[in-house]
Amino acid sequence: MISFFRVIKFALQDMVRNMSLSLMTVVILVLMLLSVNTLVVVKTITGEAVRTVKDQIDVSLYFASDVEQEQVDELTSFIESFPEVTEIVYFDSNEVLNDFKSSHQERDYVIDALDEIVQNPFGPTLVVKTREPNDYQKVIEAVSIPEYADVIEAKTFGDTQEYIRRIDVITQQVEGFVLMLTGLFAVIAFFVIFNTVRVAIYTQREEIGIKKLVGATNWFVRGPYIVESIVFSAVAVAITLTAVYMAVQVIDPYVAVMLETEGLLTAFYDQNMMQQVLMQFGVVLALTITTSGLAMRRYLRR
């Protein structure tokens, strides 16, 4: 225990002696972690955007006005048999007519034209949803056979695949840029920590020599720098995640306007905060300890 407390004492002395280098190390680590969290935020937002777009995709099947209910039920059962189909919503002809009037209520000439028609010109409609956008093509091909040519008047499928593709492209470009930025900060952090430890060791080379002469083990010499690595990592992670959590609370209202999802980022960090703390602390600690070990290797050989 005495050796352990001595190691902590030496670590605190080193950090105070090299305060400016210690602060620079923490700043670089914070910048690296901020770029990592930017990547996390981008992936969360784009993932939600893709999910929102997918939820808005569907296939609408418009039946002829004179279609028999048996034919509608038969086709509905046929579509339900597809494992890709997750939901089918049926609208009878009256619901379709009322919805059409509601969406065109500001166009008086359209409403007047409908009032002059004795019969309802609309047939029933089926709205089909599948698990993935690619599955809609299977549904369309399945109902585009001659047996259903007289039953189905029209099929509509919103081409939202292009929007999903564009979101994916933008996401990949942003993620690539953020990854490059993260790598840059990681390299900078490596050299800053490396030089920080080298300067600290150089200024204490005589002390290290005396420690070795009186029987200090390599681990006792390494101990203060490992403690410094732990402190640097903990401080950097605490500062970063505190700043990120405050930032996402400011960003969330703007994200909610775009995606109609309240508290998306805040909820993500609330649910995954411990995971993020452990993961980011582990990565930074591994970087700092590895860099410190490389910087000390030369002096420990003496």
Where are the domain boundaries for CATH 3.30.70.3040 in the chain? 58-158
Residue with tokens 């609309």: 122
Of the candidates 227, 167, 247, the residue with the CA atom closest to the CA atom of residue 22: 227
Conformational region of residue 155, where left means phi above 0, alpha means psi within -120 to 50, and beta covers everything else? beta
In degrees, to the nearest 5, what angle opens at C-alpha 256 toward C-alphas 253 and 258?
Answer: 120
pLDDT at 177: 78
pLDDT at 55: 75
Least confident of 88-102, 120-134, 142-156, 203-217: 203-217
**How confident is the model over 181-219, as pLDDT tens digits?**
777 777 776 777 677 666 666 666 666 666 666 666 666
**How confident is the model over 35-60, as pLDDT tens digits?**
888 888 888 888 888 777 777 777 88
pTM greater than 0.75 (yes/no): no
> What integer is the mean pLDDT of 108-125?
74
In degrees, to the nearest 5, what angle opens at C-alpha 141 toward C-alphas 138 and 147?
Answer: 135
Q: Identify the band that residue 247 occupies on the pLDDT scale cut at 50, 70 and 90.
A: very high
Question: What average pLDDT is seen over the chain?
Answer: 78
| Res 28 pLDDT > 90 | no
Q: Is 155 helix (H, G, I), strand (E, B) or coil?
A: strand
Are the beta carbons of 149 and 65 closer than 8 angstroms?
A: no
> What integer is the mean pLDDT of 62-85?
86
Q: Which fold has domain 58-158?
A: Alpha-Beta Plaits (3.30.70)
**How confident is the model over 233-244, as pLDDT tens digits?**
899 899 999 999
